Amino acid sequence: MSVTSIQKLEDLHRLDNLELIARQAVEGSIIGLHKSPYHGFSVEFAEHRLYNAGESVKDIDWKVYARSDKMFVKKFEEETNLRCQLVIDASSSMYYPAGVTNTKIRFSIVCAAALMYLMRKQRDATGLSIFSDKIDVHTKARSTQVHHKLLMTHLEQLLAADAKNKKTAASNSIHQIADSISRRSLVIIFSDMMDSTHANAELFSALQHLRYAKHEVVLFHVTDKKSELEFEFENRPYVFIDLETGEKVKLRASDVREHYTKQAHQHKKDLMLKCGQNKIDFVEADIAENFLQILVPYLTKRAKML
Beta carbons of 1 and 14 less than 8 angstroms apart: yes
Q: How far is it, in rounded angstroms, from Cα 242 to Cα 276?
A: 30
Q: What is the pLDDT of residues 66-104, one digit of tens each?
A: 888 888 777 654 445 789 999 999 999 999 998 777 899
Q: What is the pLDDT of residues 23-35, one digit of tens each?
A: 777 776 655 444 4
Q: How far is it, in rounded angstroms, from Cα 291 to Cα 246?
A: 31
The parts of the chain modelled with pLDDT lower than 50 are 1-6, 14-15, 32-45, 77-79
Q: What is the pLDDT of residues 255-290, one digit of tens each?
A: 999 999 999 999 999 999 999 999 999 999 999 988
Query: If residue 50 lies in a helix (H) or strand (E), which one and from where to where?
Result: strand 47-50
Main-chain dihedrals φ then ψ at residue 278, nearest 5 degrees:
-105, 15
Domains of the chain: 3-75 (no CATH), 83-305 (3.40.50.410)
Residue closest to 189 by CA, chosen among 106, 92, 291, 280: 280
Residue closest to 302 by CA, chosen among 166, 186, 220, 141: 186
